[in-house]
Amino acid sequence: MIRINGTDRASRTSEYESYNFGMYHVAANKKLYEPQRSTDFEFVITDIDNLVKVGPDKSVTIPNAQEILRFAVASAPVPHFEIEALEDRRGNSVQKFAGTPSFSSGSIQVRDWIGSDTAGILMSWQHLAYNVYTDKVGLLEDYKKDAVLIEYSPDRQIVRKWNMYGCWVSAISEDEFNNQQNQSTRMLTATIQYDLAKLDVSDDWF
């Protein structure tokens, strides 16, 4: 027995021993304790094929942009929302209750492939929201896209899938060029804003 807040309670030592907690417990329940690998995912931006390439010539397009980015994304954010806490005060006490939910922005890291022009794809998508050549802000229907984040098991079965709505690029950054360091693969980072994300609970995944 152990005493907690003035109350005698049974020790949980015997409970842990009965369940055999430890790696033997994991070994005996392999299906329950399959670890999720952080590398088993895909982040897909939809409806960005045939983007007009950044520049004054609007006749140049980038084909297959969706598939190029799908393969180029090295890291992607997991969508979550935060609920604003509202307060109601009475005398010396405070009650908190749920307010407006909001989804935080996230960042994707993309491999900088010269031949596939991944940098051009990201910049062209961003320019749909603001065109530096015309100093005009774009229309929602042009720059807001939907995205899908898919989490896979090691044998390529879908574990979870998030549908993200109203995605657009608010910022792009990349490391500076530096010939004083060891050679490394260049990466691009794009800040993705989105309005809503839902965990897909349907049974008709792909």
Contact criterion met (CB below 8 Å) for 177 and 54: no
What's the CA gap between 121 and 63, in Å, rounded? 10
Q: Does the pLDDT of residue 204 top 60, yes or no? A: no
For the chain, the average pLDDT equals 87
What's the CA gap between 94 and 175, in Å, rounded? 47
Give the pLDDT confidence of 143-157 residue by residue, as tens digits. Answer: 999 999 999 999 999
Q: Residue 14, SS3?
A: helix
Mean pLDDT, rounded, for 159-172: 96
Phi first, then psi: what are they for 127, rounded to 5°? -70, -15
Single pTM value for the model: 0.80
By the 10 Å C-beta count (0-12 exposed, 13-18 middle, 19+ buried), 102 is classed as exposed
What's the CA gap between 88 and 98, in Å, rounded? 11
Which has the closest alpha carbon to 170: 140, 194, 147, 148?
A: 194
CA distances from 180 to 71, 128, 184 (A): 30, 36, 12
Give the pLDDT confidence of 111-140 residue by residue, as tens digits. Answer: 999 998 999 999 999 999 999 988 999 999
Q: Does the pLDDT of residue 16 top 90, yes or no? A: no
The reported pLDDT for the residue numbered 5 is 66
The alpha carbon of residue 67 and the mean position of all alpha carbons in its chain are separated, in whole angstroms, by 17
